[in-house]
Amino acid sequence: MLKEFKEFAMKGPVIELAVGVIIGAAFGKIVSSLVDDIIMPPIGRILGNVDFANLFVNLSDKDYPSVAAAKAAGAATLNYGIFFNTILNFLIIAFVLFLIIRQINALKKPEPAAAAPTTRDCPHCLSAIPLKATKCAHCTADLR
């Protein structure tokens, strides 16, 4: 059983999937940093120095200055700013993947179109005959 598992784990698609998951996780961190550190600060500045990560609705009786302070106190919050950042992360990742897949598809050679058939089967003897034939060369049946 251990030998079977080793053979399964070492197959090409399993290894490729593992590498893809690891690269995907690293790419996700890059995109999160891009959104949190590069994109959101200028957007927040344009909208009046808003820090999207600290946009939340406090569901408790006390006031908290930030999401971190509310979480540290164990207060219930609706963190819609963090949710907005997560949606933006997803949209960027989806768009980048779209561009990559589009580029890969453009590099693939188009499959040759199937050639139009030049023959058909005789309805009587099922031999291949030219499309324009009016009489079968094999069984001499009239094909008009």
pLDDT at 51 over 80: no
Residue 142 pLDDT grade (very low, low, confident, very high; cuts 50, 70, 90): confident
- Which letter, b or e, does each residue of 53-92 get, where b requires 16 or more Cβ atoms within 10 Å of its Cβ? bbbbeeeeeeebeebeebeeeebebebebbebbeebbeeb
Domain boundaries, the chain: 11-111, 116-144
Q: Are 56 and 80 a contacting pair, CB within 8 Å?
A: yes
CB atoms within 10 A of CB 129: 20
Fold of domain 11-111:
1.10.1200
Identify the DSSP state of 144: -
Looking at residue 97, its pLDDT comes to 80
SS3 call for 11: coil
Looking at residue 13, its pLDDT comes to 79
- As a whole-number percent, the residues of the chain with pLDDT over 70 amount to 99
Strands (E), the chain: 57-58, 77-78, 119-121, 128-130
Identify the DSSP state of 62: S
Q: Give the Cα separation of 41 and 80 in Å (integer).
A: 16
Looking at residue 6, its pLDDT comes to 77
pLDDT at 8 over 80: no
Q: What predicted TM-score, i.e. pTM, was given to this entire model?
A: 0.55
Structure tokens at 115: 């050639």
Q: Parallel, antiparallel, or unpaired: how do β-strands 77-78 and 57-58 relate?
A: antiparallel
Among residues 42, 45, 35, which one has the least CA distance to residue 85? 35
- As a whole-number percent, the residues of the chain with pLDDT over 90 amount to 8
